Amino acid sequence: MRTSSLYIFLAGCLLLMGSCKKYLQTVPSDVLTIDDIFTSKANVDQYLANIYSSLPDEMLQRFTGDGNSGPWEGASDEAKYNWDFVYTNQMNLSTWSNTDGTVETFWASYYQAIRNATDFMNRIGTANPNEVPDSLKIEYKAEARGLRAIYYFFLVRMYGPVVLLGDNLISADASTTAVRLPRTSFDSCIDFIVTQLDSAYLNLPYTPTGNQYGRIVRGVVKAYKEQALMLAASPLYNGNTDYSGLKNQDGTQLVNQTYDPNKWTLAANAAKAFITEFVPNYYSLFVEANADPTMQAYLSCKDVVLQDWNPEWIFAFANGGSFIRYDRTPKHVGNPSDQQGGGAFGVTQAMVDAYFMANGLPITDPNSGYAATGFSSYQSVADRYLNNQYGVGVAPHNTWNQWVGREPRFYVGVTYDSSYWLYQDNGYGIIQTSFEYSGNSGRSQSTSDVSPTGYVARKNCAANDANRGALLLRLANIYLDYAEALNESDPGNPDILTYLNAIRQRAGVPQYGAGTNPLAVPADQNATRTAIRNERRVELAFENVRYFDTRRWKIAPQTDAGPFYGMNMYGDGAAFYQKTQLETRVFYSRDYLFPIPNNEILKDNLMVQNPGW
Amino acid sequence: MRKANMRATPVALVRLLTCLLLLLYAGRAFAQGPVTITGVVKDKLNKPLEAVSVQVLGTSRGVATDSLGKFSIQLDNPKQQLHFSRVGFVAQTLGTGNSFYLDITMDAVEGSADEVVVVGYGQQKKISLVGAQSSINVEDLKEPVANLSASLAGRIAGLVGVQRTGLPGSNGADLWIRGISTFVGSGNDASPLVIVDGVQGRDINAFDPEDIASFTILKDASATAVYGVAGANGVILINTKKGKIGKAVLMANYNEGLNSFTKLPQLTNAYQYMTLRNEAEIASGFQPDYSPAYIDSTVAGRQPYLYPNVDWMKALFNKLASSRRANFSARGGTENTTYYVSLAYYDETSLMKTDGLQAYDADSRFRRYNFTSNVEMNWTKTTKFELGIQGYISSTNYPGVPASPGGPSAPQQIFADVMQTNPVLYPIMYPHDIVPGVSSAGAQPNPYAELTQTGYQSIFANQLYSNARVTQDFSPLVKGLSAYGMYSFDTWNSQTNANERQRSSYLIDKTTPYNPDGSPNLDLISTGSDNLSFTTSNGGNRQNYLEAAVNYDRNLNSKNHLTGLILYNQRSYTTAFPTNLTASLPYRSEGLAGRITYGYNDKYFAEFNFGYNGSENFAPQNQFGFFPSIGAGWVLSKEKFWNGLKPYLQFFKVRYSNGVVGSGGISQNNNVRRFGYLTLVSNQASGYVFGNGVNNSTYGGIAITDYGTDVKWSRSHKQDVGVELKTFDEKLSLTIDYFSELRTGVFLQRASLADYAGFINNPWSNLGVLSNKGFDGTLDVSPFSIGQTSWTIRATFSYNRDKVIQNDDPIQPYPYMERRGVNYLSNFGYVAEGLFSSQKEIDNAPSQAALGSVRVGDIRYKDLNGDGKIDANDVTRIGNGDVPNLVYGFGFNVVWKQWNFGAFFQGVKGAQRQLGGDGIFPFSNSTGAERSNLFTEALNRWTPGNPNPHAFYPRLAYGAAENSNNDVPSTWWEKSIDFLRLKTIDFGYTLPRGTLKSIGLRNARIYVQGVNLLYWSSFHLWDPELNTTNGTLYPNTRNITTGIQVNF
């Protein structure tokens, strides 16, 4: 009997051991594998969608780097965030560092998208032909190629010359030493971007099928080709001897040292080619028709950024989230909570001053009629819009003279003290913004949720924060690029004023040498350059363009350094209307470029750092 | 017969059992007059005990057991009792019931040569141990705390423990054995393996301390190698109480206590806050926010709604809360069946206030009901069956306190809320129960409203532990051979019901503060709801565990002793509410363990242990790992040459062990990626929505998130040298161990791959290498007398230092920046050299521009690389981190007549914390400087008028940008959090026996206990044990309890 229990016991053990082999086989066999991605169209679509998802959602800029949103607005001379946590404050004082996580975010996430795009391109050919027809494979591959080139463009625009990986994928078990690569020269980066975009063009449609706005189409790749060539022609990279020391360890010069005027010609040609091929069939300047020409200009300039995929939009992050509404709605204490915001995205006095007068002249022009002091009873075009929209009956009211009689784009762009809020809630009292110390949006209400300057940007502030397109590139950029490149390569070409005036006409301001009440034509190439730059600053304000412009023109030491001004946030009444210095911005020559993230330098001993970092 | 048994079915077993029971019952029926009792006496290792005196109580009749432990003795009648005694063993008296045959197990006296201790998968004589392990006298654990873990630190050599918060329901301690020797930051688990009643993976805090019989920690390779891949962090072995032969002993214990905070952060009052804020604003070039008139009005307090003045800590917390504990247990048995059953109740309320106005119950309260039922049966003379069922039901109630506006409940958040709410922001409440607020987005929520107005959540949880074990003794067949099989099923479930709300908030109008009727004119700030909204969530897990083993244990002759063990086990753990398929898969491991021990004459000992384990987590070729260890011990004091030393050292033993243990297997506690060998494709990646908002095409996202690599077990090579000695007539015993560990192949995510490789998550690899060395020791003084008092004293310490050897970080530009070569949890930061005393000093010092603008009174940092500027290249190791190097404890117990008094002190050394965050960095919250409260330490600051270079704070400034130079991690903010704590005192009176017998009680004791009564520390801001950089955790509590324990 006892022997038998031993046998039973041993038999039991054997039984257990027999089942052991399978015991550990709990592999998740039915999860998606790397090969499953290309077995169905649904998966292919999702893989490609993920590559798109790295496009920057510039409406998230409050948290620099969220959704790859950049510091472009707060770190330009257009605006200042009052919140200390916003990275742009560090950039403005030049206390940012190559060890900052924000610096690494863009670098890492664009390269992740680049890796996925390359993997997609390498393997889309193997996709299940029953689900993904060859024609679609070719088109999708071109989309991925176009996206990859655009991501490289974003990297180059920030960091200068970068590491070009081509069609190679670095293996997961590669040894650390095996993956060390040097940077590629700037011109080679641009060449790669341009040829890739040209190559993608061949297999792309003109318009997205099925209203799938946001897909890479022919216009997008040609527009970014033009953008890349503009960057290459600009002073920052075109024979910039400040970068003579930027060399790889093997001596390769990373930024060319001789000015090449032909680069402007290439850029002008690319812009012209774009206009010829796509305008007006696919893109045109957005106009919201109205019997009142000032109202038409106001509505057109206000809605060109708000109305998703109007004919002027070339590229955007489709259906992105937004923090803009809270940033750009003043605090408005005591009003309906929907209309209470943080209002911390302040417009600088420099930007306020950059807007033209209604007569098209800059405020510095003695004939402009600009008055820096005093008050007038004034009804702005924005007030009239409110009356039409909400029937609130805003009458002419006491307004500081600096804000009286400006061009429509000023009223599109800026919320100033005593102006009426862009949105009103029917049934509540009318909402008027007061930035004075004790006002509903003044500093006595909060030291953080308050404008630092006494102005808040109102451009691109939508009625609600629902997902919408975050504009990346519109036709106005191309027009102004064209005018600029032509003025550099072929001064006096009549196209320069044609396209510059097209922008002014839409904005409801008198044109140079054309239309009603024309202004004098700029005297020479220099004057034309100034006119183009001033127009760009106003037309593309708060659209993430100014930051790059001041850098590629090499004027940032003038525009982004020194004292910045606003109103006196500690004052009530007359005390408020004092031009008050907010801060002194600092710009070192290193600040032209983002630093290569310090970790990359430590990991890769072939990687050289940007000058000054 | 043999054939029949081969087909043994449950039915056959039941029949057999019934027969046996009938036979036993028959035996009872016939016993009347004089009877002869036979039996056998064994020790805990199931070895026969010779020369045990067996005495019939009340007579002079007595016999002694023979070499097989057998005895035979006559009783005049079955009611007479037998008394068993032997030197070195605990004497027993018991009635025979109606049995003719007794199977007696005797326990060795603690510290005697025959003492038996628990080891991995078994028991051994303590003298024969070659591995490093420590155990604790479980009586010491009986503190009025809900969680066992909170009472362990300092009591056991080798155990490092810290209690991180005192919130009822989550006040367990973090425990490590011999410190941390893995990359916890990479998600590796540093916690020891907890084994309760032989089952792995149970929760140390799920048991009532009253139900614990033994508590042991296994520290070195020799002791833990049998656990193979699960043993590298050490093992905690807990056995619950079992039954005992004899009449039922009933025990009841009841106590009730009062809790208060050990330390509550001290914040500035309204006047201090306003003057300091004005000072900071002026220093930063802003205008002051509070006029003298405003300050006067606030201090005068005549218009509290317009000029609020609130002490938030006082508004939120009560002075006292209560706790209550009750235990009942019954223990007894006959020779065939013994049992231990118990019920326990624990109830603790928190110090957080409720407003008493709400219809719902937002009290914070933790209640737990534990139950234990351990039954042992002898089915045959050689077949033993054990069934253990333990568990609890718990119910926890918390106030709503959302982590963020409208978010899930998180009671600790209330402290973070206070750190953002200054005393003059708004009143506690406006009239008519209206909630004050300042932000439409919900920032700076009113702490009092968060605590009392946001609803509640209630958490119900239940835990069931079960294990059944059959042991068969094959001794009659092969001498010393036995085998057992065990199966266990554990399950835990919880449900959280939340019924929460966020109410509308209002603020008094700054221009027209009052309505014509004199009531405050309130502006709407945020729109909320007075209606509660219900959400529910579930948690749970289950575990199956199977173990079978064959044991061999035999004295080959009087001197040679050999034991052997071979064991198979498998474990499967499943999460009940997985969020994806991979998480739904069970965590599994299986393996073999083996042991051979050899002892010669209780003088020389040798052991070989191994574990061979596999886990589902690795590719098939890497699934299994082999982990061997050897150990040897030598009792020098038994040698002839020692005789001369005997008067000084009565006992002296050295032991050494060397072996390899693994980790990285079952890893439900880890965040290390599962199935590291598989390439993971996520279909939850970011997708994209094409379209213009009207016609949208939505695509989910697929991305290759993790590439697979050839990962396997990490290995830990451990060595241990131990010395055990006894002196002063064996009254004083001392054990000291030196250990050294090298852990290689620790999982980590590769850090040296450049970002441009484009991996979403860098691949994992077995690249981490870490060493850990240290000492631990125990000093025990067995009872000695001074006059009429009897004393016991015990002290322990644990000291260790770990060091990162490889972490796959890129080589740092300067050696002092390396995280290799220093302990894993090291704090890094700048080296503060004091405060700038003049602009001239700033101008001449290395530039600190990279850290922000610098003013006089700012912290000056050391330029470590001498490049003339302070930047990230000047960061170096500035502290050890928050886990101490040294944990120690000492205590004594003194008995005088019926009175006893005991005290236990516990302390840590070598722990530092880097302070930071709201409240600590004044006016520095980057979302708004006003979102920062102030500790009263802010009064001790540098000012131009009082340029104290040793002030707690540098000069005050307003705004994160203005403070950025001072707010970087540096030695300035690195504070020692060492402490010594009077952890417990116990004062009791045992009622004299005579008085009790008349009322049917065996004994009774009345006691007063205190926990966390006092502490001494150079750190004054909050209880130094809390895991927080700015005091935003529910503090630890001081507890004073009175109670009575009665045995029937």
Most confident of A152-161, B523-532, B661-670, B1027-1036: A152-161
For residues B864 and B812, the answer to whether their CB atoms sit within 8 Å is no
Contact state of B548 with A12 under an 8 Å Cβ cutoff: yes
Residue A14: the pLDDT is 53
Residue A552 has pLDDT above 50, yes or no: yes
Residue B470: the pLDDT is 95
Q: Which of B289, B755, B807, B930 to mutate to test the interface with A (most CBs of A within 10 A)?
A: B755
Residue B18: the pLDDT is 44
Residue B626: the pLDDT is 93
Residue B30: the pLDDT is 46
Q: Which long-range contacts (CB under 8 A, 24 or more apart) does B964-967 make?
A: B964/A95, B964/B851, B964/B852, B964/B853, B965/B848, B965/B851, B965/B852, B965/B853, B965/B854, B965/B858, B965/B859, B966/B858, B966/B859, B966/B921, B967/B916, B967/B921, B967/B924
Q: Measured in Å, how far apart are chain A's first and last C-alpha atoms?
A: 85
Confidence band of A206 (pLDDT split at 50, 70, 90) = very high
Question: What is the distance between the alpha carbons of residues A102 and A88, in angstroms, rounded to a whole number?
Answer: 10
Q: Which is higher by pLDDT, B102 or A2?
A: B102
Confidence band of B141 (pLDDT split at 50, 70, 90) = low
Residue B675 has pLDDT above 90, yes or no: no
Q: Which is higher by pLDDT, B146 or A168?
A: A168
Dihedral, A539, A541, A543, A544 alpha carbons, nearest 10: 120
For residues B704-710, give the mean pLDDT: 90
Helices A101-123 and A134-159: crossing angle in degrees, nearest 10, is: 160
Question: What is the distance between the alpha carbons of residues B916 and B1029, in angstroms, rounded to a whole number?
Answer: 5
DSSP letters along B281-330, please? HHHTTPPPS--HHHHHHHHHTSSTTTS----HHHHHB-S-EEEEEEEEEE
The residue in chain A having the minimum alpha-carbon distance to the alpha carbon of residue B485 is: A9
Residue B11: the pLDDT is 45
3-state helix, strand, coil in chain A (%, to 5): 45, 10, 45
Residue B549: the pLDDT is 95
Q: What percent of chain A has pLDDT over 70?
A: 96
Q: What is the pLDDT of residues A278-294, one digit of tens each?
A: 999 999 999 999 999 99
Which of B412-426, B571-585, B964-978 is predicted with the least confidence, judged by mean pLDDT? Answer: B571-585
For residues B499-511, give the mean pLDDT: 89
Residue A17: the pLDDT is 53
Residue A147 has pLDDT above 80, yes or no: yes
Q: Which of B425, B680, B702 to mutate to test the interface with A (most CBs of A within 10 A)?
A: B702
Which residues from chain B sit within 8 angstroms of residue A466, using beta carbons?
Answer: 693
Contact state of A602 with B813 under an 8 Å Cβ cutoff: yes
Residue B293: the pLDDT is 94
Question: What is the distance between the alpha carbons of residues A506 and A503, in angstroms, rounded to a whole number?
Answer: 5
Residue B669: the pLDDT is 59
For residues A470 and A487, the answer to whether their CB atoms sit within 8 Å is no
Residue B683 has pLDDT above 90, yes or no: no
Confidence band of A10 (pLDDT split at 50, 70, 90) = low
Which of B578-587, B597-606, B891-900 is predicted with the least confidence, judged by mean pLDDT? Answer: B578-587
Residue B664 has pLDDT above 80, yes or no: no
Smallest Cβ–Cβ distance between A603 and the set B704, B810, B851 belongs to B810
Considering only CA atoms, which of B34, B38, B39, B41 is closest in space to residue B59?
A: B34
Tally Cβ neighbours within 10 Å of residue A189.
26
What average pLDDT does chain A have?
Answer: 93
Residue A480: the pLDDT is 98
- Amino acid identity, residue B722? G
For residues A134-158, give the mean pLDDT: 97
Residue B960 has pLDDT above 60, yes or no: yes
Residue B6 has pLDDT above 50, yes or no: no
Q: Is B84 left (phi over 0), alpha (psi -120 to 50) or beta?
A: beta
Tokens of A196: 């890739």
Residue with tokens 């363009």: A545
Residue A317 distance to chain B (closest CA, Å): 9
Residue A512 has pLDDT above 60, yes or no: yes
Q: What is the pLDDT of residues A565-579, one digit of tens each?
A: 999 999 999 999 999
**What are the backbone dihedrals phi and psi of residue B710, each rounded to the nearest 5 degrees, phi first?**
-85, 70
| Global confidence as pTM | 0.88
Confidence band of B13 (pLDDT split at 50, 70, 90) = very low
Residue A412 has pLDDT above 60, yes or no: yes
Q: What is the pLDDT of residues A52-74, one digit of tens each?
A: 999 999 999 999 999 999 999 99
Q: Which of A602, A606, A608, A613 to mutate to test the interface with B (most CBs of B within 10 A)?
A: A602
Residue A13: the pLDDT is 53
Contact state of A176 with B752 under an 8 Å Cβ cutoff: yes
Question: What is the distance between the alpha carbons of residues B500 and B502, in angstroms, rounded to a whole number?
Answer: 7
Smallest Cβ–Cβ distance between B812 and the set A111, A466, A602 belongs to A602
Residue B834: the pLDDT is 94
Contact state of B693 with A468 under an 8 Å Cβ cutoff: yes
Residue B2: the pLDDT is 39
Smallest Cβ–Cβ distance between A446 and the set B710, B752, B928 belongs to B928
Q: Which is higher by pLDDT, B207 or B79?
A: B207
**What are the backbone dihedrals phi and psi of residue A382, each rounded to the nearest 5 degrees, phi first?**
-65, -40
Tally Cβ neighbours within 10 Å of residue A206.
11
Residue B290 has pLDDT above 90, yes or no: yes
For residues B287-313, give the mean pLDDT: 93
- How many Cβ contacts (< 8 angstroms) between chains A and B? 295
Contact state of B927 with A2 under an 8 Å Cβ cutoff: no
What average pLDDT does chain B have?
Answer: 88
Q: What percent of chain A has pLDDT over 90?
A: 86
**What are the backbone dihedrals phi and psi of residue B153, each rounded to the nearest 5 degrees, phi first?**
-55, 135
Helix (H) or strand (E) holding A75: none
Confidence band of B738 (pLDDT split at 50, 70, 90) = very high
Which residues from chain B sit within 8 angstroms of residue A25, using beta carbons?
Answer: 616
DSSP letters along B903-916, please? EEEEEEES-EEE--
Interface of B with A in 699-718 (CB under 8 A): 699-704, 707-710
Residue with tokens 């180059």: A156
Tally Cβ neighbours within 10 Å of residue A442.
26
Considering only CA atoms, which of B818, B798, B822 is closest in space to residue B808?
A: B818
Q: What is the pLDDT of residues B866-887, one digit of tens each?
A: 999 999 999 999 999 999 999 9
Residue A209 has pLDDT above 60, yes or no: yes
For residues B616 and B587, the answer to whether their CB atoms sit within 8 Å is yes
